[in-house]
Amino acid sequence: MPPIFEKGRFNFKEGQEVPAHVEKNPGGRDRDQGKYAVVTELIGANLFFPTAIDIDDLATAELLAGAHRTEDGIGNSYVSHVIPPLVES
C-alpha cells in the first residue's frame, strides 16, 4: 500500500515528482510500525502530529519531510521529522 498523506500540506518544488500515495489525512490512523513516517512539530507549542505514514523507504520519507510546509501564513512555524520503522517488517 502506498503512503498516506495529503498533498496540499506539502510544498513540492516545480518539477519535483509527488510520490504515489493515498490522499487522506493520516491523523487518527494506525501506522504500520514496520514502515517510515513523517511527524510534524508545531514549534513552540510542543505539539506533534502525523504528516505522512506507511512510507516504504527512507528516501521518500526524507523527501516528504523536506517538502512539508514550514509555516502556515498565520504565524505558526513547523519542522518535520522522519520516524524510522519501530519493528522489522
Q: What is the pLDDT of residues 7-35, one digit of tens each?
A: 999 999 998 899 999 999 999 999 999 99
- In a domain? residue 11: yes
> Reading across the β-sheet that carries 4-5, which strands appear in turn?
22-23, 4-5, 47-55, 36-42, 78-83
- In a domain? residue 16: yes
Q: What is this structure's pTM?
A: 0.91
Q: What is the pLDDT of residues 43-89, one digit of tens each?
A: 989 899 999 999 999 999 999 999 998 988 899 999 999 999 999 86
CA–CA distance from 82 to each of 34, 48, 65, 73, 74 (Å)? 14, 12, 6, 24, 25
> Facing residues of 68 across strands?
10
Q: What angle do CA 73, 4, 24 make, to 5 degrees?
A: 65
What is the count of structural domains for the chain?
1
- In a domain? residue 89: no
- In a domain? residue 88: no
- Residue 34 is part of which domain span? 4-83
- In a domain? residue 46: yes
